[in-house]
Amino acid sequence: MNDEQQYLLLNASSRFSPPQGVKLSYGTAGFRADASLLPSTVYRVGILAALRSLKTGSVIGLMITASHNKVSDNGVKIADPNGGMLSQHWEPFADALVNAPSPQHLLLLINEFVAKEGILMDGVCQAEVLLGRDTRPSGDALVDAARQGVTSIVGAVATDMGILTTPQLHWMVRARNKGIQASEQDYFEQLSSSFRCLEDLIPAEKSKFGRMNDKVVVDGSNGVGGLKLKDLGRLLNSLVIEVRNSGEDGGVLNDEVGADYVQKEKVVPHCFGSKDAGIRCASLDGDADRFVYFIVPSESNGRIDLVDGDKILSLFALFIREQMSFLNENEGIKDCHQARLGVVQTAYANGASTNYLRQLGLEVNFTPTGVKYLHEKAAEFDIGIYFEANGHGTVLFSESFIRWLEARTKEISSGSKVSEGGKAALRLLAVSKLINQAVGDALSGLLLVEVILQYMGWSIHRWNELYHDLPSRQLKVKVADRNAVHTANAETVAVSPPGLQEAINAETGKYHQGRCFVRPSGTEDVVRVYAEASTQEAADTLANSVAKLVDQFLGLSSS
Ligand code: G16
């Protein structure tokens, strides 16, 4: 590192002192904390993003968001060159960088890391970081901190993309690195044109059944997603999207609204109620990387019938499996390896969904919570569908399978009758363009659900009947140190503190179809408890008993 670079780093970093007595970790999805604690963290992640861009010779993304967390929190995460999450190999460096006590320590760490990774900091190599933020009031100042971090590296530029959903930024990074136009308008156009393409491919005999409602009502969580969905909706003539909780009427982000609230509490979000009985409703989270659907029953009392990420996964799996069988029957996958379809879930997946997927003959894989793990596993398949029960997921297509689909669809000459296999290839190709290939995306996922329901001629009720969820309950327990909980086997077993898992097993054994696990959250300062049993009362009692066990082993009183 030359003198100019050292001076620049020392000078700029002295403006961002790290908060005293706070240790942050990259967690499930980047750094998250109360926004007042974050300027130095974001500044330093800006440096990291510039170094990552130098290392990879590609555009990198930096998103300021705390997604489902309360509005006073904020956070920062990195999008890698392919649009996915930051390589896990760099996470320890991110932790060390953010927690370095002084500018001198910071400089030392950067010097060591740059040497180890062989990053050329000659000022000649260029780096570019795209910055995005959600609608949180603290976002503006944090984007500025990120910009200062990026430009502390000689030759690095920061391009502010403004207010975006998290998946939009990931999409833009991926597109830029593939040499594709990557503006917000390009994103909207790709989604809307592939949606229309899928609509045009709906067989007449299927669409004639129609749907029970041609309107979807969406809770925008008072965040960025509702606003962007309104923009996207203007390009879709056939689908009526009514957005509520767009944040324009003064509603508070994630406060009794949004996918996290709806999925965890299983109650109607603000602005929804008995007037919506029977209508197709959906809810986005704060930065629109997750979504769930729900139905307000006629005798609701505030309760909902949740159509969660597991059911979204099942719908996508059914549709894709059908298209692949058309390909096999009509086209013959002779010049291609036999295409492999796989699905990925976490321990939160309702047991009934896993049974259903297995009955469909699908390979079901499990990973720990966090898109970074599910995405990696799904990428092993020609088509990999991953979803967390909380609505975070997407469908990944391998490059080789996309190339094969492109070749098949090119063979279809205009004017001639297209075979079922040909139509299936066209549909799958359109799905690969509609659904975000970089990360889970509520906007693109919602459009895919809508067009598949239309294709199937299904109402949300019909979709919800695919299988019946086992009753479940999720709780959060505030503890002295959540990192004292260590888990194994895709988070289904707590290996520490000693004795906790045995106590959980003893409790779970008392319930018919009982299943329960605990894990430390990577985004909030809590331990999460998930319980499933044959009745709602039993699931609630099991979750409460295990929450008490967590409190006994780790509670604030034990600190
Ligand atoms: C993030 C992650 C998700 C994860 C969720 C909750 O979502 O991207 O994969 O399920 O946090 O994680 P945890 O239980 O560790 O707190 P989001 O939507 O908040 O970015």
Average pLDDT over all residues of the chain: 93
Please give the pLDDT value at position 211.
Answer: 47
Nearest to 340 by CA among 366, 365, 308, 362: 362
Please give the pLDDT value at position 335.
Answer: 52
* pLDDT > 70? residue 413: no
ipTM attached to this prediction: 0.95
CA distance 440 to 263: 16
CA distance 474 to 294: 18
Q: Is 111 exposed, middle or buried (0-12, 13-18, 19+ CB in 10 A)?
A: middle
Query: Using a 6 Å cutoff on CB, does residue 259 contact ligand 1?
Result: no
Query: Using a 6 Å cutoff on CB, does residue 370 contact ligand 1?
Result: yes
Please give the pLDDT value at position 559.
Answer: 47
Please give the pLDDT value at position 1.
Answer: 83
Look at the block and give the residue holding tokens 């925008």.
220
SS3 label, residue 220: coil
Average the pLDDT over 306-330 and give the result. 94
Average the pLDDT over 8-17 and give the result. 94
Instruction: Look up 413 and say whether it is catalytic.
Output: no
CA nearest ligand 1 atom 20, residue: 67
Please give the pLDDT value at position 74.
Answer: 98
Crossing angle of helices 103-117 and 91-99, in 10° steps, is: 160
CA 390–ligand 1 middle distance (angstroms): 8
In the chain, % of residues over pLDDT 90: 86
Q: At a CB cut-off of 8 Å and minimum separation 6, what does 194 contact? A: 430, 431, 433, 434
Confidence band for 212, pLDDT divided at 50, 70 and 90: very low
SS3 label, residue 253: coil
Domain range annotation of the chain? 3-163, 310-439, 472-558
123 or 65: which leads in pLDDT: 65
CATH-assigned architecture of domain 3-163: 3-Layer(aba) Sandwich (3.40)
For the CA of 27, the nearest atom of ligand 1 = 15
In tens, the pLDDT along 52-97 reads 999 999 999 999 999 999 999 999 999 999 999 999 999 999 999 9
CA 392–ligand 1 middle distance (angstroms): 8
CA distance 535 to 554: 28
Alpha-carbon torsion 168, 174, 180, 181, what sign? positive
Report the 10 Å Cβ neighbour count for 230.
16
Report residue 390 CA to chain centroid gap: 9
In tens, the pLDDT along 481-506 reads 999 999 999 999 999 999 999 999 99
Please give the pLDDT value at position 325.
Answer: 92
Please provide residue 46's backbone torsions phi and psi, each rounded to the nearest 5 degrees: -60, -45
Please give the pLDDT value at position 103.
Answer: 95
In tens, the pLDDT along 503-521 reads 999 999 999 999 999 999 9
3-class secondary structure for 334-350? CCCCCCCEEEEECCCCC
* pLDDT > 60? residue 440: yes
Catalytic residue among 13, 40, 53, 67: 67
CA 334–ligand 1 middle distance (angstroms): 41
CATH code that applies to domain 472-558 = 3.30.310.50
Cβ atoms of 95 and 30 closer than 8 Å: no
Please give the pLDDT value at position 331.
Answer: 56
In tens, the pLDDT along 378-408 reads 999 999 999 999 999 999 999 999 999 999 8
Query: Using a 6 Å cutoff on CB, does residue 289 contact ligand 1?
Result: yes
In tens, the pLDDT along 241-293 reads 999 999 998 899 999 999 999 999 999 999 999 999 989 999 999 999 999 99
Span of 101-105, 334-338, 390-394 with lowest mean pLDDT? 334-338
Q: Does the bond joining 497 to the residue before it have cis omega, within 30 degrees of 0?
A: yes
Nearest to 186 by CA among 220, 231, 133, 134: 231
- Residue 390 marked as a ligand binder: yes
Query: Using a 6 Å cutoff on CB, does residue 516 contact ligand 1?
Result: no
Please give the pLDDT value at position 555.
Answer: 80
pTM score: 0.94
In the chain, % of residues over pLDDT 70: 96
Average the pLDDT over 173-190 and give the result. 96
Amino acid at 400: S
Please give the pLDDT value at position 424.
Answer: 94
Please give the pLDDT value at position 238.
Answer: 86
Q: At a CB cut-off of 8 Å and minimum separation 6, what does 84 contact? A: 170, 372, 375, 438, 439
**The 341-345 sheet, strands edge to edge:** 363-366, 341-345, 383-387, 393-397
Query: Using a 6 Å cutoff on CB, does residue 68 contact ligand 1?
Result: yes
Cβ atoms of 65 and 134 closer than 8 Å: yes
